[in-house]
């Protein structure tokens, strides 16, 4: 039997503004506000529930630098928010995850920076996803290296796995990540055309 699909129209559209150019990832905070990673502007954005811009931070770095400023981005892609409202940004081509904390309303300051041995390929497709789970675990995909990296909330490495292939422990260009309500980690195994669920120890 052919499955019937309904046509949906967006109930809200945020666009046509000069502060939003190429949004790549969005995360919903506990209060319903939105956090967005914009690769064109190299910024992280904070929007209220109505889609109005509250604050933006980051900005471009001229060329690649060996020690880029911590407050600047180069191709920010993944973004997520913890229950305590820490904002984590995958600063892809700077090969790091940057953790921000809202010290005062609309004043985001760097809490920590986690350098990664990952995200080497500077291609249009090698962009990571981030997901934060209820066990206080942050996981990131490493598409070109065909692996998943997981960290404790203080940035220490927890575990990593994956290699190129198509068996149950392998992936081929993993991208998007999400935790379910049982703390299973779902992985979009892009080039294998499948979704994988992993249970973290």
The 10s digit of each residue's pLDDT in 72-128 is 999 999 999 998 889 999 999 999 999 999 887 778 899 999 999 899 877 777 889
Establish whether domains 19-115 and 133-201 are of one fold: yes
Distances (CA, A) of 116 to 7, 57, 92, 137, 179: 42, 22, 10, 16, 22
Q: What is the pTM of this model?
A: 0.89
The pLDDT value recorded for residue 167 is 95
- Domain residues of the chain, as ranges? 19-115, 133-201
Q: CA of 89: how far to CAs of 10, 12, 116, 146, in Å?
A: 26, 25, 13, 20
Which of 56-65, 143-152, 183-192 shows the lowest per-residue confidence on average (mean pLDDT)? 56-65
Q: Which fold is adopted by the domain 19-115?
A: Thrombin, subunit H (2.40.10)
Distance separating alpha carbons of residues 175 and 56, to the nearest angstrom: 25
How far is CA 99 from each of CA 89, 105, 138, rounded to the nearest angstrom?
Answer: 7, 17, 11
Architecture field, domain 133-201:
Beta Barrel (2.40)
């Amino acid at each position: 039997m052919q499955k019937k699909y309904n046509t949906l129209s967006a109930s809200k559209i945020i666009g046509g503004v000069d502060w939003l150019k190429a949004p790549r990832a969005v995360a919903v905070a506990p209060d319903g506000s939105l956090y967005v990673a914009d690769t064109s502007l190299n910024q992280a954005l904070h929007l209220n529930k109505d889609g109005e811009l509250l604050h933006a931070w980051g900005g471009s770095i001229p060329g690649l630098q060996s020690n880029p400023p911590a407050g600047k981005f180069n191709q920010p892609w993944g973004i997520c928010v913890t229950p305590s409202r820490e904002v984590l940004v995958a600063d892809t081509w700077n090969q790091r995850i940057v953790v921000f904390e809202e010290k005062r309303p609309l004043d985001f300051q760097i809490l920590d920076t986690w350098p990664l041995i990952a995200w080497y390929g500077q291609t249009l497709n090698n962009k990571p996803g981030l997901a934060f789970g209820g066990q206080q675990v942050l996981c990131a995909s490493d598409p070109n290296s065909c692996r998943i990296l997981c960290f404790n909330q203080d940035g220490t490495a927890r575990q990593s796995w994956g290699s190129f292939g198509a068996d149950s422990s392998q992936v081929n260009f993993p991208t998007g990540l999400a935790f379910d309500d049982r703390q299973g980690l779902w992985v979009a195994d892009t080039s294998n055309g499948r979704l994988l669920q992993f249970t973290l120890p």
